Each structure stands twice: as structure tokens, then as C-alpha cells.
Structure 1
Amino acid sequence: MHDAASALNPQALAEAAGAAMYARDTASQSLGMKLIEIRPGYARMTMPVRADMLNGHLTCHGGFIFALADSAFAFACNSHNLNTVGAGCTIDYLAPGRQDDLLTAEAVEQALAGKTGIYDVTVKNQDGRLIATFRGKSHRVSGEVAPVQR
């Protein structure tokens, strides 16, 4: 997949992990999410708000906003190419998402110690309006996301 030199490069590992995860992530794909950028400890994803994502107030259902933030969190915490899962998270909704908005979630690693990480995610619309903030706690499990040669 990658040569030995690039396999040890943190950015190459992040890109390999992101590509492997996205290829298998039919949930994020089915919601129209795209992985725009990935670096070690960081991921940025977008999701268009479709008509079938609206709730009874004709705004984006919070579950879809959560799903976008959670996906960005997942990609950021797996960007070190070590299998990592969510252990807990919280979200605060600050403004509504509207039909045809393009939401962007940006996940940033705040701390990583042992098997535990903390990640903050902001979700904004195309105008830069803050829609939600999310904090996730990760737990590393065994294995690698993408096979690499060493």
C-alpha cells in the first residue's frame, strides 16, 4: 500500500487511515459526508443538509448534526492509524442547521495520553455560523486502521 518510509510518516499514516476508514464507512457516506482533510489528531468533514434530514421545526435534526460531529471525531482519533473508539461524548446545539446548508465539522485533538484521548469538534455552516460544539473521549483498542509496511 505504501512504502516503508511513508508508512512511518505521521501524515502518510493519517491519510492511509482516513482513506481506509472512509472506504468502509457506509453510514457517513450515506449521509453525504466527505472527508475534506485529515492530519495527525485532526479531521475536517462536510455534510449537506438534505430535506430528509429536517425535523418537525424544519431545521436539521440534532441527530444528523451529532452524526457529523461524531464522524469527524472518529476520523481524528483514528488518524494515528491505531484502532480507536468513542468512550463518551457531549454536544451543545447553538444554532439551527437549515435545508441546503453545508455543515463543516472540524475535530481537533486536545489531549492524548496512553489509550485515552480528548477531542473537540466544532460544527459550522457555510457562513461560519457556529451550529454546535462537541467533545469526545476516545479509547484505543487493539489493531491498526490501515495495514502498512514497516
Structure 2
Amino acid sequence: MRHWNVYLSGEIHTDWRQEIEAGAEAAGLNVSFSSPNTNHADSDDCGVAIMGAEDKKFWHDHKGAKLNAIRTRTLIEEADLVIVRFGDKYKQWNAAFDAGFAAASGTPLVVMHGDDHQHALKEVDAAALAVIETPAQAVQILSYVINGDMPKG
């Protein structure tokens, strides 16, 4: 049986990743998950912690973004599927970039968001193979594409 690698990108303020992981485990899916560093402070400060302090915030952020890109790009390129969640808090520009990178890399993309983001994300949605609203739908997609299982209900 094929093992699937799924990259979970997007907002870090809710437990949506854990919901998908628990649902996939409950369904017995042969899948492993990866994600960006979801510790906001570590993600922001990794560059200066490793390569030295910066006087200007731009260069502080620049160093961190480049280090995070090593992880993000590698894991997206290795993924069989990328799921990107856009949440209600903040603007997730990095998530939009991850979605674009996945699409440009030819990695299948699923986008998750509520109706309130529909217009703003229309181009991102157009690049996706599925647009969903809930982690449960993500689990159903995984169950279908991995095992061919239709939702019960």
C-alpha cells in the first residue's frame, strides 16, 4: 500500500492540523503529515538566533524567512498533497505563497477557508484541485484519494 505525504500549510491559531491528523489516524490512512514551524516566535527569530542579530526589522525577518523557506520548499516538493488553510485571524500571506509554490511545483493542492475569504482567494482557489471549509472534508478527501472510500452518511 502506498504511503502518502501531506503538507499542512496555513494559519497557526486553531487546531485544524490536529483534527486532520486525528481523523486520518481514525480512518486508518497510510499517511504522514508535515508542516512549517508553527511556533510563531521561533519561526520569526530563527535567522537571528542562528546567524546573528540585525538592527533593522527587515533584515531580521529576511534571515528568518530564508531559513523557513528551506524547510517549506523541501517539504512541499516532497509532498503528495498540500492542504492550505486560511483562517479568520491575520492575513496569511505565507500560506498564499505556499499555495502558489505548490501549484507551480505541480503538487496537488487543496485549499480550506470560509465563505468570507472566497473573493480574496479566487485565484488561489482556481489553482486548487479542491476547495473545502472543514478539516473533516480534508479527511474525507484523503480517505477517497488514498483508498477510494466514499463518505458515510
**TM > 0.5 fold call:** no
Greater helix content: 2
* Length-normalised TM-score, structure 2: 0.28
Q: Report which of the two structures shows the higher radius of gyration computed on alpha carbons.
A: 2
Greater strand content: 1
